[in-house]
Structure 1
Amino acid sequence: MLKKISKYWWCQMLGWSAYFALNWFYYYTLDKSVVQLSDFINLLIFIALGILATHLFRTLINKRNWVTYNSERQILLFFAMVAGTSVTVYISYNSLMYFVYKYKQEDLVRALISPFVISFIWWMIYYIWHYIERNRSSQVDQLKLETTVKELELKTIKAQLNPHFIFNALNSIRALVDENPQRARTAITELSNILRSSMQSEKAETVSLENELNIVKDYLALEHIRFEERLNVQYDIDPDTLELQVPPMMLQTLVENAIKHGISRIISGGSVYINSSLKGMQHVITIENTGQIIENSINGHGFGLQSTRQRLGLLFGSRASFEIRNKDEHTVEATVVMPLL
């Protein structure tokens, strides 16, 4: 039976019981006058009216969905509830006192002090409680949303190591088996490293740039088997950035995008330039490749690129950015800016 009572009513009962106990303690210890039965009844009437008034006003603001109000309106609503509750208790209590005892309160200000103080304390506790609850609920929902998004992104990113790349790599390895067995064995190791990193990427939110670069080098080594002299790769990596954290498979996704939508579409091939540097309190990664972004093409709106933006937003918020553009008539530039953790 007790389990069915809501937290709200538990707080009502405990709060008003504490108020009753404090008043009774005052009557018996500090107040020198004789306590009569009518004092006990009057106190119970005041408490009953307090419970009724606070509950009615609470029901009113819940029906009007006050939770959605902004901070300024919340403050105004708070004082309106305090004033409304205290005036309601004062009028109803004094009306009953006049009806039963023919007693009329002469000092209006003094008579309002007690209902006002009680109402102020009641609504202050109520607002603080709901403020904490809303924040906690919002944080939990946000964490659940971020976790879901990250899981979906990571699963899709693993799929971004698309079958075409794997088939091309396997065909290249098969061609090397007789021609260059040692290189074929190395290529198999490079492919297994990439697949292993793809499977393990969901276990961590970030990895070091050095680890990410190792995967990119394995990936480009496999692509070099296919493109041979048509693919030229250059690295310009600041050693101070190697231990910095980046989203897993992000760099590999951007390099794959450069190969797939840039180099592979040019008969003569082209170059991929990878730069990592520090600029103030920011870590900047730049990938340049031969090619051009065609308006409304997948280059600017593919899932891999959208996923990169979303993951950067989840990890760093507005402090991180991602941009891909045509640097000139022959080069595409992708730039990732992340804050130093």
Structure 2
Amino acid sequence: MLVYAYLIYDVASFSWQVALADSLLTNGILAIGCIILSNMLGYYQPKNERLFSLLLLTAVLTVIVVFATKYSLNYLFNSHTAYQSFLDSSLPFRSIVMFLCLGWCGLANVLWYRLEEQSETQGRFLAAQNLAKEAELNKLRHQLQPHFLFNSLNSVYALTIVNPTEAGTMITKLAAFLRGTLKRDDEVWVSVADEMEYIQLYLDIEKVRFSHRLSLDVKIEEETLGLCLPGTLLQPIVENAIKFGLYNTSAAITITISVKLEKNILVICVANPYDPEMNATKGTGFGLSAIRRRLYLLFADSNLLQTETQNNNLYITTLKIPQKDDKNNTN
């Protein structure tokens, strides 16, 4: 505004009073035009193929602003002949400048509203993605549970015939296990201590099922007890190890579970013996693939669950859970 007043004062050689009055009135009317244009674009946003309508709207507002400015300045300086002559001669230049200002204002508003709309769309898309991810995580968790339940019920049925006392013990432990499962359905993250307590209930049930044939060797480093991992993630891995460790064999086996911390990563290894001739490594079907999918949804890393075989006929499943510095994971 001051630059505009200085140009009138210096180039047109009018007094400071005339220059400031012209600048204030012209810029004030232009500002009103910009406000009107911004409000109109707030209610109506032209599509990409209809940007011509924005130019047309800008041109119409320019005509109105130019007319209002000329009328106001003529009225204000009606007795100033030299100024009125200057006003008439500068009108084309004023019109171009006002059109450019209004056009810039219009484009800036369109870009602002487009960015705002794009941000809202992105927010809705991310919210939908999170809901879809949560739904898939819940689906995977609930798909893994019935597999164990059906096996346990079959074992209970068999025990009721040959050993009713053991069947009663197993039903009690199974009820406690399922009660814990229901409590954990809404928990994405649990501590290692809670997860191992949950796993111990499962192992107690399996020891009832397989009696003297199943031995367990569980090693947990004390510093890992407060760390976090996704709930009900370990049980399908242990179930897979027990199932395929006992595959087509009547001999006693030992399942080894170790929990340790390596470079701020929780590492859980589950090892079970297997017979290569019996193709016991088929345990990488739905259970482990579902766990891989769940880990990928949580961490965007497809290498957090790994399996390997060793020469001493051991099948090892390694689960890695990245930990935050504060050991407080969030989904």
1:129-157 CA distance string (max 9 Å, x none): 12320232022202221221122123212
Q: Judge conservation of contact 2:38–2:109 (CA < 8 Å) in 1.
A: no
| Aligned counterpart, 1:78 | none
**Which secondary structure does the structure 1 equivalent of 2:92 belong to?**
coil
Identity of aligned residues (%): 18
Is 1:153 aligned with 2:136?
no
TM-score (norm: length of structure 1): 0.65
**Which secondary structure does the structure 1 equivalent of 2:215 belong to?**
strand
| Aligned counterpart, 2:207 | 224
- Kindly provide the amino acid, as one letter, of the partner of residue 132 in structure 1: S
- Kindly provide the amino acid, as one letter, of the partner of residue 299 in structure 1: G
Q: Judge conservation of contact 2:156–2:167 (CA < 8 Å) in 1.
A: no
1:210 Cα deviation from its structure 2 partner: 2.1
Larger displacement relative to structure 2 (275-284 or 219-228): 219-228
**Which secondary structure does the structure 1 equivalent of 2:247 belong to?**
helix
Is 1:322 aligned with 2:276?
no
TM-score (norm: length of structure 2): 0.67
Rg larger in structure: 2
Judged with a 3 Å threshold, the aligned counterparts in structure 2 of structure 1 residues 232 and 50 are, in CA distance, closer, same or farther, namely closer
**Which secondary structure does the structure 1 equivalent of 2:226 belong to?**
coil
Q: How many residues align?
A: 281
Q: How does 1:293-308 map to 2 (within 5 A)?
A: 298-302=282-286, 304-308=287-291
CA distance in 2, matches of 1:34, 1:262: 90
CA distance in 1, matches of 2:312, 2:53: 70
| Aligned counterpart, 2:48 | 60
Is 1:132 aligned with 2:119?
yes
**Which secondary structure does the structure 1 equivalent of 2:268 belong to?**
strand
1:193 Cα deviation from its structure 2 partner: 1.9
- Of residues 148, 154, 165, the one that matches 2:152 is 165
Q: Judge conservation of contact 2:292–2:302 (CA < 8 Å) in 1.
A: no
| Aligned counterpart, 2:21 | 32
Q: Judge conservation of contact 2:37–2:106 (CA < 8 Å) in 1.
A: no
1:110 Cα deviation from its structure 2 partner: 3.7
| Aligned counterpart, 1:290 | 273
Larger displacement relative to structure 2 (309-318 or 129-138): 309-318
1:80-126 CA distance string (max 9 Å, x none): x8x996799469957x989xx99972479745541343034313421
1:254 Cα deviation from its structure 2 partner: 0.7
| Aligned counterpart, 2:231 | 248
| Aligned counterpart, 1:123 | 110
| Aligned counterpart, 2:190 | 207
**Which secondary structure does the structure 2 equivalent of 1:115 belong to?**
helix
- Of residues 233, 254, 257, the one that matches 1:271 is 254
1:214-258 CA distance string (max 9 Å, x none): 232233233233433332211111112123222222211111111
CA RMSD of the aligned region, Å?
4.4
**Which secondary structure does the structure 1 equivalent of 2:188 belong to?**
coil
Q: Judge conservation of contact 2:38–2:106 (CA < 8 Å) in 1.
A: no
| Aligned counterpart, 1:259 | 242
Higher relative contact order by CA 8 Å / sep ≥ 6: 1 or 2?
2
